[in-house]
Amino acid sequence: MTRTESVLRTHQLTKSYGPRLAVDHLDLEVRQGEVFGFLGPNGAGKTTTIRMCLGLIRPTKGGVEIMGKELSSHRREVLPRVGAMIESPALYGYMTGRDNLIVFGDALGGVTRQCIDEVLELVGLRGRDGDRVRSYSLGMKQRLGLAVAMLHDPELLILDEPANGLDPAGIVEMRDLLRFLAREGRTVFVSSHVLAEVQQTCDRVAIINQGSLIRVAPVAGLVGGSGQFVVHLADPAQALALVRKQPWGETAYVGDGTLVTAAPNGRGRDLNSFLVAAGFAPDSVAERERDLEEIFLSLTNGGAR
């Protein structure tokens, strides 16, 4: 399978509940070996989409392909190649973590005790696998749920809010784990509200709102140059008054004690030269990058429905 080959594809995927359209003709393509982020406000249709991709609910229209094969007609062939964790993992609280994995492994068939040891190590639960799950924190249950999803060594992982309940250190570990899985050649489709982590973890993201696709793009392209520059200088207010008189500086503003402005010819060095010539020598001029949260809010109208 090449890096560009499709592992998960939806075509005109649609789900309606009576008059309410939960997912609206959604076209997505997730490629082999990437970490793909799936973002949207609450109620945007993310979980409904994921459930259709796993064959848990039937689309009203359209379809899903996994590994190039239509899910509706090849369920038994393709679903064993997929691992999933949707919302809160369904675990047996009265059993230990290890016994949970044994039960799920026996149901799947072919899962060795060595495999169980390996996934416990991978998700950071070695040493706590003998404790009953009812004593686990929410974050530990998320880790165990991910271990269950990985028991059969899936090629595609579909994860709904895998960082839910994790502390900051656990979130970083989850990020590193997802990147590691992608480097191994697995494909990870992840829905998450932790946008700072999505920005650092995912190769590409899709953003949906009210069931419709708003944007699909590489993360680097989304958060790259905005056409504006952040200028640190001694008197940003006076410099702002001058810059706003220029045709390229009409939208300039001062924020956090710095001047934020476009540049003549769109080039930082030309902005620097202009300010020096005007008597406002900057300490630094850097292209302004937007974070993923800012972009998400702008594309979804602040997450409002």
Domain ranges for the chain, please list them: 6-222, 225-289
Q: Is the confidence at residue 226, as pLDDT, over 70?
A: no
Per DSSP, the three-state class of 73 is helix
Question: What average pLDDT score do residues 177-187 get?
Answer: 91
256-265 pLDDT tens trace: 889 999 999 9
Query: Which pLDDT belongs to residue 110?
Result: 84
For residue 233, the one-letter residue type is L
Tokens of 88: 């809160």
Q: Which residue has the higher pLDDT, 293 or 56?
A: 56
The CATH code of domain 6-222 reads 3.40.50.300
- Residue whose token pair is 């590489």: 218
Query: Which pLDDT belongs to residue 222?
Result: 82
The set of residues, in sequence order, having a beta carbon less than 8 Å from that of 255 and lying 6+ positions away, is: none
Question: CATH classification of 225-289, choosing from 1.10.357, 2.30.38, 3.30.70, 3.30.1120?
Answer: 3.30.70
Query: Which pLDDT belongs to residue 17?
Result: 93
Question: What average pLDDT score do residues 138-145 get?
Answer: 89
Alpha carbon 293 to chain centroid distance? Answer: 11
Question: What average pLDDT score do residues 29-46 get?
Answer: 94
Query: Which pLDDT belongs to residue 61?
Result: 96
Residue 305: CB atoms within 10 A of its CB come to: 10
* CA 262/CA 283 separation, integer angstroms: 17
Query: Which pLDDT belongs to residue 225?
Result: 65
Question: What average pLDDT score do residues 15-23 get?
Answer: 94
* Helical spans, DSSP H, in the chain: 46-53, 75-78, 97-108, 113-122, 138-150, 168-183, 195-201, 219-222, 236-243, 268-277, 292-299
Residues 98, 129: contact at Cβ < 8 Å? yes
Range from 38-47, 98-107, 119-128, 283-292 carrying the lowest mean pLDDT: 283-292
Q: How confident is the model at residue 2 (pLDDT cuts 50, 70, 90)?
A: very low
